[in-house]
Structure 1
Amino acid sequence: MPRPTSSSTHLRRSRRRPRGNENGPDPVDVLVGHRLRTRRQSLGLSQRKLGETLGVTFQQIQKYERGMNRIAVTTLVRAAAVLDAPLSFFLEGIGPQRQEPERPTLYGRDARLAQALAGIEDRRVRAAVRTLVRALSTERQP
């Protein structure tokens, strides 16, 4: 009976990428691929021509478009340039969405007052003015 080698006794890690669903392509890859196909078709570009431009086969383009293969960021950047689309076109709505906080709009004298306050170099004096304004205002804010 052959003696097991050290490499066969260790469990090997799979080199496969983690998927959201083991039964199919990752939803992000499918979405990016769909947008790649949509943009390519809107320009009347064949898979073969796009593949040649990106340095991959048309079969690889098919896999990208179906979401079967994940497209590398460098390839996606080149594809965006070839397809004359911003990179954000392919990634819109993917990942965590962040809402920008609302900023109060200042006009006229209020804007000039805010600029003057920002222009006060001494940190303690600036803090004292802010404290005074809060104390005088009818609506206190933290």
Structure 2
Amino acid sequence: MRQIRLSDANQVDRQVGERMRRRRILLGLTQDQVADALNISYQQIQKYETGANRVSAGRLAQIAEVLEVQPGWFFGSAEMGDAPESSSRAVIELVRNFSRIEDDRVRTHIMALMRALSGGSDSEDEADEARPAIAEAPTGNGASRQI
């Protein structure tokens, strides 16, 4: 049986806290809102998110319910990725804003734009489907330009 070192346990606490923070931000919740739902202080949420305080199993189940995930989600590594902190915040903001777009056509066009900008491509059929049609738009001086 593998012996768990204290540094390993601390790393798990930080991972749980980081995943908690990311999920909270993704849902657009403040620390105050999560704290109110759990009937604790926002300072306690801060301590959980930094890994300064360890989350008990019962509290983790409550947090999972508020954040709409299963408790085991906090321990998964596949969904986390290894993105640096600055880019992970940008990704969270991007996903949050993208999910608020209600028009499916707009979402499809944004996906095509992101694929083109990143140099990525899916299958040719999907790329053709998502490729926005070129339209003529007036420039204001009587001429038109392609958009």
Please identify which structure carries the higher strand content: 2
- What's the TM-score, normalizing by structure 2? 0.46
Please identify which structure carries the higher helix content: 2
- What's the TM-score, normalizing by structure 1? 0.48
